[in-house]
Structure 1
């Protein structure tokens, strides 16, 4: 029990371990003292303190150059690892990079090149902040924001909430493959996002109000997959007008116009970095994605 108590309470002084490693690497006390800008007597005292702590001799001082004893050979590997971990920890704590995280959630169709560029510029300007960006369905993102799992959330919703930092009008339209001239007949094939998607629910509700039959021809997890399915003529879909400019689709006039949604920006904190990122995200949204560029913005 006494043996266990001794080693349970043993704490290595990094300065003593550094002296120990330097002597091994230099091959002598004199050369090690020169490397450390110290004196031979100081190093001898440090090694004596280390040997007293471990209760074993670490060097055979009669050998030239000095050699390790069996105890010294066992300790040297651990000494190097302890010093390496100490240096690693010190470097980590003195480097501010990634010392704070900002968790951002937004719909897939908002991940434009302009938004990505805004994220990249922000990380360059704020190396101390680690961005954690995720895409998903607006309802899921809104729930995660309210639960505190996201710091910033950009979501589509029927109406902006009172705590929205900014809110924009997001016009929607029925879309179909470019060049299509024939009307859709029952049952109407629909191209949609997965269950829980706001556009999906609107489509189903409006078609059922019109007393038409429908079926799901394609369900895609991303804007790109939905657009490709519409371009191929698999069915009709509802999408934001801002997302279809470069796609081979056209507005379908067969159905009643679909009401616009609100594109809202939420953030918990009001600190300088958060406000800067929110502003950086709002700018490309207001310029590139929303038809009406002069809608209300809330502080």
Structure 2
């Protein structure tokens, strides 16, 4: 019998090989692992050949798989071209971008505006996240591109874009005004885990400065709001510090710098690669040169 190949199974095959992982392809196309396994098995049944072989923890195409892959790319391209010619909508794959909240007001809209001008039909899903989570989600194939703060000097991950100093910040420049009369230093910090939080507490403990948590929050806007009302002191970079918030130096220990890195999947799609390039330009113009 002549094989009747499933177009979506062929699309999954292409995506899995391009991303280097069928698990990543499943996340990228919004399907479960079991659904992917069924599609690949159906392709092998339809082809009458073993199409994939296990290599390490992943799958690689056999000789028959490589042959089908070459035709699959042409079949899917012609399918989508025909659908577009008839006015049918072909939904583009979603590109998933992860950013710290620091970059939501200018880097994100600048990047997405430029990307939309280049790829007007693209769909970008943006996720705000903590640095540790963003890095793990890129590794797990749940994000295509991300910006994340990393500890300076740690084993290199991603591409270094900038080194940014950490500062003590508060409504008042005077440490005594922040602390109050002989009281412990009130801290406004992100919830654990957080690189800024860890750096602040480590520095205070090493300097034997007594502290207390005044407010913890998962929101950067919450941090700035607490500082504006004089609830304590925090640690951030120099980037986009709100008016009325000042650097505090006297009486406090020096803090290390952080590295801003771009993280990408090992095998990004063409759209993800273009988005990463535009994001890098936005960071260069808005963050490094600010």
Q: Same fold (TM over 0.5)?
A: yes
Aligned partner of 1:175 among 162, 169, 176: 169
Gaps of 5+ in 2: 1-82
Counterpart of 1:238 in structure 2 is 235
DSSP-derived class of the 2:187 partner: strand
Report if aligned partners of 1:178, 1:231 keep a CA contact under 8 Å in 2: no
1:249 alignment counterpart = 245
Q: Secondary structure at the match of 1:103?
A: strand
Deviations, residues 143-192 of structure 1 (Å, cap 9, x unaligned): 11111111111111103654513431122100111454635344111000
Distance 2:228 2:284 in 1: 27
| 1:271 CA drift (Å) | 4.6
TM-score, structure 1 length as denominator?
A: 0.61
The structure number with the bigger radius of gyration is: 1
- Equivalent pair of 1:171/1:290 in contact (CA under 8 Å): no
Structure 2 CA distance for aligned equivalents of residues 275 and 166 of structure 1: 16
Shift of the alpha carbon at 1:127? 3.4
The alpha-carbon distance between structure 1 residues 114 and 143, as it changes in their structure 2 partners (threshold 3 A), is: closer
| Pairing of 1:1-299 with structure 2 (within 5 A) | 94-96=88-90, 98-159=91-152, 161-178=155-172, 180=174, 182=176, 184=179, 185-244=182-241, 246-253=242-249, 254-268=251-265, 269-290=267-288
In the alignment, the residues of structure 2 paired with residue 161 and residue 125 of structure 1 have an alpha-carbon distance, to the nearest angstrom, of: 35
- Paired with 2:131 and 2:217, the residues of 1 have a C-alpha distance of 15
Contact 2:96–2:125 (Cα < 8 Å) also in 1: yes
* Contact 1:186-1:212 at 8 Å conserved across structures: no
Change beyond 3 A, Cα 1:229–1:251: same
Distance 1:211 1:181 in 2: 16
C-alpha RMSD over aligned residues: 2.4
Q: Distance in 1 between matches of 2:172 and 2:155?
A: 36
In 1, the alpha carbon distance for the partners of 2:193 and 2:109 equals: 25
Structure 1: gaps (5+ residues): 1-89, 294-299
Q: Count residues in correspondence.
A: 201
